[in-house]
Structure 1
Amino acid sequence: MPLWRVITALGITQIIGWGTTYYALGALSLDIAADRGWSKLLIFGAFSAALLISGIISRAAGRAIDDFGGRRVMAIGSCFAALGCLILSFATEPWIYVLGWLVLGPAMRLVLYDAAFPSLAQVARQKSRRAISYLTLFGGLASTVFWPVSHYLSQEIGWRNTFLVYALLHLLICLPLHLWVLGRGNEREIAAETTPPPLPAHPILTGNDRRTAMIAFALVLALNSIVFSSISAHVLPIFEGLGFSAATAVTLAALVGPSQVASRIGDILAGHYVKTMTLGLIAVGLLPLALALFAGGGFVLWAALAFALLYGMSNGLMSIIKGIIPLSLFGHQGYGLVIGTLTMPQLFLNAIAPTLFAIVLDQVGPKNGLLVGLFFGLASFAVMAWLARRYPR
């Protein structure tokens, strides 16, 4: 099957997967609260529990992709996603709502990037770097597509019926696409049946170097995730707390998505001129640069614009390097388990960081809260710089 067809099909499932799970509450939380009278703690606490479950099963999910192939694992993930959304469509009581998200926890781990990257790599092989870049371009459209669609559906048919539509999308679109385009073999079978790729310019890391590099890159992702998950969850209150009007805050937040997609298009057009580790330095470094410009500019409008654009670009490139740096350092063998290991702390922090950052904002305000983010962003860049210097690929 042509690789472009695999990427397009997986791209469609990524748009649906992200839009109906990770980004769903961004459009539906207010309607859920208004309809059922539930607290934000319940509505978002269930989502945090789902992310924690994703982190708990991360290594096992990655190993399953290596052992059984991405086709089976992502197909199972589509079934879990359909079931979780179906349960939420019947959520008249809090325990049903929580149960739905507890099912969506493993579903997110089995259908989003962390499963799609190794599944695509099993098909793309030596073309994986470019294939992953193209796939993230699709994923970057998820919020742009699903926030207005979800809002419209919720207004027309209610939030519970919206989740029923989500379930049908997973069952009738994502499940057949996963079964259709992904290879039938596991990692060992694929390696035995295909011509080995050419030897890399640098041999893959083994032994102590492998462990050191995995710990370092996991730390890069974790420190970076603290900042991204915290700011993304509170972006509108942050802008409004700095004195911007609600309309301006929404406009600034809306710039993040297009700049995220633009950075991924830039990587597609010019990525072959940039070394993998250099791209990592750019992706990680843009975040503290965005925060430093915002703070150094006195948190005024032009600085906010620069922040929104650079923040979105960094977020867009981070999705790419999360997939391609492990390939560069560790190779295809066991790639699913490597991704699962690297992203486990990141998923845990995605679950708890927004709550902790809310406490920080209440205690010290948005300006000092962003300075705390700058500290973690600089720490992430420092580790990435050390990794790139030690293992230049």
Structure 2
Amino acid sequence: MPLWLVITGLGITQIIGWGTTYYALGALSQDIEATTGWSKALIFGAFSAALLLSGLISTWAGRFIDRNGGRNMMMAGSVLAAMGCGLIGLIQHPAAYVAGWLVLGIAMRFATYDAAFASLAQIAGAGARRAISYLTLFGGLASTVFWPVSHWLSVSIGWPNAMLSYAALHIIVCLPIHALVLKDAQGEKAAETQAEDTVVPLQGIDRRKAMAWFAAALALNGIVFSSISAHVVPLFDGLGFRGDEAVAMAALIGPSQVASRIGEILLGRKLKAVHLGLIAFGLLPVALAIFWAGGFSWVSALVFAVLYGASNGLVTIAKGAVPLVLFGRRGYGEVLGLISTPNLIVNAAAPLAFALLLSGTSPQAALMIAGAAAIASGLCMARLTWLHPR
């Protein structure tokens, strides 16, 4: 199977996978609330529970991929995603809604980036970093594609039928693609290609320390990104921007993610993976500092939105590339699971915590607190880069 076809196939499933799960509520939550009368706490609490469950099974899922291959897991993820969407769409009851999201929490871990990155490592070998970079280009389009599609479906046929349409996409499109393009993503493939590594993976205490520093960088970074992303429009509104201005700022984030990933593909060969990570994690505190120093003006807001999106785009690549260089391809799925667990757990809690923060203080103060977490994230990555500048 040509690698470009594998990447293209996985790219299509990533757009659908992210768009019908992680980004679904961004377009459907208001209609769900209006038609059911359910509280926001229930609607978004079920989503947070799904992210928490995804984090709790993350390490186990990584080990499963290492032993049994990415193909089996991603196919199972497609089936589970269809079941979760179908359950939410068929039974408009709070219990079914929560249960459906819990199923989707497992599906997200089985069929989105972590599983796809591990599968590419099993297939692409030494070319895994380039393959991961290309794959993230597709994933960056998920919100751009599915926010308007979800809104149109909700208006046209209602949100329950939109969820049933998502279930059909997972069975009709994603499942066959995973079965077709991942035939070479078999268990222990990473072990077979370990001899091809150009550097010796970290071992012992150095390995554990490096994993801890990188996991901390991801988790602290995730606190900021998940908080701001969940509240970007009301946050800009609270800073004095009009509604259309706030939406325009939010709209810049997606293209900036994709643009930064294209830049990494074109210029990334000149960067070591840890230096890419340093840039990725370092851009976020720079973006917040410029926003604050500019007095939260229109110009500084534009710069913030562009740098914020660029940072998010590069962090996704760094999450896959840095572990490959430091820890090797053997056991890569488990490594991704371990370092992702804290990030997924804080992603589940951060939006609610940031909402409480916004209700108890000003948007400016909330952003300053977020800036402190962003600085800490960058310092963790700087420490890792200093320890292991390979």
For the criterion TM > 0.5, the same-fold answer is yes
Deviations 1:338-389 (A, max 9, x none): 0000000000000001101111111111000000011000001111111001
Q: Secondary structure at the match of 1:4?
A: helix
Taking the TM superposition and a 5 Å limit, the aligned residue runs for 1:140-219 are: 140-184=140-184, 186-189=186-189, 191-192=191-192, 196-197=195-196, 199-200=197-198, 202-219=199-216
Q: What is the CA distance between 1:184 and its match in structure 2?
A: 4.8
Residue 25 (1) aligns with residue 22 (2): no
8 Å CA contact 1:291, 1:370 repeated in 2:
yes
Q: Secondary structure at the match of 2:362?
A: helix
Distance 1:184 1:123, change over 3 A: closer
Q: Secondary structure at the match of 1:105?
A: helix
Taking the TM superposition and a 5 Å limit, the aligned residue runs for 1:226-265 are: 226-265=223-262
Partner letter of residue 176 of structure 1?
P
Counterpart of 1:336? 333
Q: What is the CA distance between 1:96 and its match in structure 2?
A: 1.1
Partner letter of residue 152 of structure 1?
W
Partner letter of residue 77 of structure 2?
G
Residue 363 (1) aligns with residue 354 (2): no
Using the alignment, how far apart are the partners of 2:128 and 2:182 within structure 1? 14
Counterpart of 1:382? 379
Using the alignment, how far apart are the partners of 1:149 and 1:49 within structure 2? 25
Partner letter of residue 175 of structure 1?
L
Using the alignment, how far apart are the partners of 1:68 and 1:227 within structure 2? 34
In structure 1, stretches of 5+ residues that fail to align are: none
Counterpart of 2:6? 6
Q: What is the root-mean-square deviation in Å for CA atoms of aligned residues?
A: 1.1
Partner letter of residue 55 of structure 1?
G
Using the alignment, how far apart are the partners of 2:75 and 2:366 within structure 1? 41
8 Å CA contact 1:360, 1:369 repeated in 2:
yes
Q: What is the CA distance between 1:189 and its match in structure 2?
A: 4.9
8 Å CA contact 2:154, 2:162 repeated in 1:
yes
Counterpart of 2:281? 284
Q: What TM-score, normalized to structure 2?
A: 0.98
Residue 220 (1) aligns with residue 205 (2): no
Distance 1:189 1:120, change over 3 A: closer
Q: What is the CA distance between 1:204 and its match in structure 2?
A: 1.0
Q: What is the CA distance between 1:173 and its match in structure 2?
A: 0.6
8 Å CA contact 1:187, 1:333 repeated in 2:
no
Using the alignment, how far apart are the partners of 1:85 and 1:185 within structure 2? 26
Deviations 1:292-325 (A, max 9, x none): 0000100010010010000000000000000000
Aligned length: 390
Counterpart of 1:270? 267
Using the alignment, how far apart are the partners of 1:315 and 1:185 within structure 2? 27
